[in-house]
Structure 1
């Protein structure tokens, strides 16, 4: 039948007709096949002088198995159209958070695969992009610790992997970045002055990012250190005068290191003292003051009057 594969019997006929000196066009006519099919069959299986039906049949079966293997997708590749749409839609959402578009697509592709791991070839096939695009996206995802590398069981191919801790690592990365922004804003407040317009804006920005960092990085401080920080703030409010760390240690019945740890906690998490701020003088004493950005100049003037 035209279009179907040659059978073993077809090949035996070809072998016999070759021995009889029959031309390929006539063989094709008798088998109902194009002449090109017969010519190709003979050429790839030994030629006019070496064609053998049994060997040609074995080679044909091997080719068929290879073709089936190449066309049959791996389990992870049997995606429905709805799944493909989800990958693209979710990647778009992640891209909106600042993740590069191609990195987002690669990440979601890995996230939604059954094994949470794919080879470069898998990603190229699924996303229909170039290997270079996949390589660049993987490099970016590795740089922010969202993707790792592994090996196939046979050790011949490298696989890109995400694991169950990926969201925790991403969360910690963001928390660290927010803390750095908050610290930089506090330095800017000191440089420009807490009562200047720039200082007030920077102070607000610092408090905002400090809150984000505090909420995201709940493991940064222990409950005991936070409790000590709040006690130290209460002590400064009650004393209403500058105190040295030694003064605070004596009054609270703590050692100096405990006081230093509490002061460090307040410095790293200013939200602990909000709406107040612990201020250190050049002489090394500490006082409690209102945050300069909580009241406008007019409000302060009205309160002072």
Structure 2
């Protein structure tokens, strides 16, 4: 059943699918599960390259045993709606400050601060009090940036939008790619102008700085992507 926990057999199907190079969506279709369930399961258990079904199954059972009674209700305390709205507004303003378009920032902030798994277009429009066309343009932009993805809800025959588990990692990679392009352009310019000339020296220094900084960022991003897949102590684990 879609709402039940993954079984050991389910996890072996996931492992086989990963070995065969299948995407999360195809594996989810074969198990009649949401795509987010598969991506979350793989991410929290070593990623595509290191996923082991038996190890993952034991780890899940261990987390269930360690979960204290009432932990789930404690993790979702009663909050005043205006408090949630204030956090959402502050987050949207900060995202706008990073260069994200205003409506896309509002959509992303709404998806980040909801306790639901995601929101469909109608729910986003009602929540933000905007037109469906505004929501459509914004989710299209966020999808293109790899920050959210759409998920099919078969029972309701609608699609909802969710924040991708790898959203920030992908955003860092996209930024790193732009830095690599700048480094390459500066290096080529330095070679053409001559590295011993004042202009060539400046371009060479620019190229080395961006190249090294970008490599360091990618390395650390990959490290923390793996290290932070487990929920923090005391947090309730979302059902797989």
**Which TM-score applies when normalising by structure 2?**
0.54
Residue in 2 that maps onto 1:115: 116
Q: Tell me by how many angstroms 1:153 deviates.
A: 4.1
Residues 203, 166 of structure 1: alpha-carbon distance in 2 compared, 3 angstrom cutoff? same
- How many correspondences in the alignment? 143
**Alignment of structure 1 residues 285-300 onto 2, 5 Å:** none
- Aligned twin of 1:225: none
- Contact kept in structure 1, 2:119 and 2:160, CA below 8 Å: yes
Runs of at least 4 residues off by over 6 Å: none
> Between Structure 1 and Structure 2, whose CA radius of gyration is higher?
1
* Distance change (3 Å), C-alpha of 1:165 and 1:183: same
Give the corresponding residue for 1:162: 163
Structure 2 residue 150 is the aligned partner of structure 1 residue 149: yes
Q: SS of the residue aligned with 1:213?
A: helix
The higher-RCO structure (CA 8 Å, 6+ apart) is 2
Tell me what 1:97 maps to: 98
| CA displacement at 1:127 relative to structure 2 | 1.3
TM-score (norm 1): 0.43
Listed one character per residue, the Cα deviations across residues 40-97 of structure 1 (whole Å, up to 9, x for unaligned) are: xxxxxxxxxxxxxxxxxxxxxxxxxxxxxxxxxxxxxx97112212212112212222
The answer (yes or no) to whether the contact 1:175–1:212 under 8 Å persists in 2 is no
Match of 1:231 in 2: none
SS at match of 1:188: helix
- Correspondences of 1:57-96 after superposition (within 5 Å): 80-96=81-97
1:173-212 CA-partner distances (Å, limit 9, x unpaired) = 2222222221121111112222333323322322232133
Q: Secondary structure at the match of 1:122?
A: helix
Q: Structure 2 stretches of 5 or more lacking a match?
A: 1-78, 222-240
1:180 — aligned with what?
A: 181
Alignment partner, residue 194 of structure 2: 193
Q: Provide the C-alpha distance between the structure 1 equivalents of 2:84 and 2:152, rounded to a whole number of angstroms.
A: 26
Alignment RMSD (CA, Å): 2.2
